[in-house]
Amino acid sequence: MARLSPGQMLDGKYEILEKIGEGGMGEVYKARHVHSDEIRIIKVTKPDALGEGPDSRRFQEEARLATLVRHPNVAALYDFSRLPDGSFYMVWEFIDGITVEEWLRRHGRFPAPRALYVAQQVLAGLSEIHAQGIVHRDLSPDNILLREGRDGRLQAKIIDLGIAKRVAADSLSVTSSGVFVGKLKYCSPEQAGALPPGQVVDGRSDLYSFGVVLYEMLTGRPPFESATPEEYLGKHLHAAPPPMDTKGLPPRAGPVLAAAVARALEKRREKRYGDAREFAAALEKIAPATTEPSEDPGSADEEGPRGRALPWLLAAGILLAAAIALSFIHRLGSSSRADVTPPAVAVPSVTPIPTAGPDEVVVAPRIIEIRTPTAPVTAPPATPTAPPGRERPF
């Protein structure tokens, strides 16, 4: 059963419109802010889903830090509070788009130029998140939203910082209630328990998770697939990812792109990129090798604006060709029926204009009209006069 119902007012300012999702941590609702008349997303956790117990200070501090993140590639967290039953709710920016997970399900793997275009935006958002001292810890295809901007290009937004943790707050991958933080398919070795005692999860954990996401975007499948949670953990801890299939990638970019993703998937975080900016810079160097000069990797349309216009241009060309052909046939028929050859048109001869220096004066050339000589006109023979009493025939 939904914990909130349509029409219900939350905290006196959020009107619940509908329930749009549910997961292991709680429920997701679409709501309207009654004062600003804007649509919001409200995520309500299950009671004590975060293992906080009666003390909510840690959640409040983490949520407060999340509200400080303001970046075009990160969904904004506007508000948060605790309900009487012990659950929390968070109020997020509403984004009208689809997740990377949904895009993969509909279209299969991303074209390489578009995958890199989206990746650079995600890494820009991660850089800001990490600068605020936050590790997302749940980066996955369903936590990256894609929407079409006003310019027709795709915009990527990282969503769901609801279980994000401060770098110095907690080094555990499992909360006190036993709930794993993050999705096993995309978790880093650190989240799976690879860190020695005394060390904490940092931003490089998110880089590993996004390496898994980018691998899937480029190949259509994640590097690790398992039937049990234990098998997932074992593969992230010990198994090398299979070599990335580069057959569908541009020949010049395939090997270097595979190497860049492999570095993000290193088991030891010291071998990965130092931060999101370094990862983004590596992809930026590869991007020109994946894109033709006429391509627009940021176009929200599968074929880009030029692809959308091409069918109309072809149709216009066919209609124009048909009109020219009909006109030619009509003129050909008219000329075959003509009894009189039209007189020749006089063609003017223009003397070339000489090149003038800075101090010279050029006299305009004369235009001489050349007339076609005509033969003298001979008077037609006289018509004989009809005899009296008879009419002259026509």
Residue 262: what residue type? Answer: A
Residue linked to tokens 């066919």: 318
Between CA 224 and CA 233 the distance in angstroms is 10
Give the CA-trace dihedral at 205, 263, 258, 235, to 10 degrees.
-60
- At 56, give phi and psi (nearest 5°): -100, 10
Is 138 one of the annotated active-site residues of the chain?
yes
Angle between helices 112-131 and 204-219 (to 10 degrees): 170
Q: Which residues pair with 15 in a beta bridge?
A: 9, 32
Handedness of CA 88, 89, 92, 94 (dihedral sign): positive
Q: Which residues pair with 349 in a beta bridge?
A: 368
Which of 11, 55, 79, 138 is catalytic? The answer is: 138
Helix or strand holding residue 215 (H, E)? helix 204-219
Residue 210: what residue type? Answer: F
Q: Which residues pair with 78 in a beta bridge?
A: none
Residue 338: what residue type? Answer: A
Please choose, from the candidates 279, 159, 151, 147, the residue with its C-alpha nearest in 3D space to the C-alpha of residue 210. Answer: 279
- Tell me which DSSP letter residue 295 carries: -
Report, as residue numbers or ranges, the catalytic residues. 138
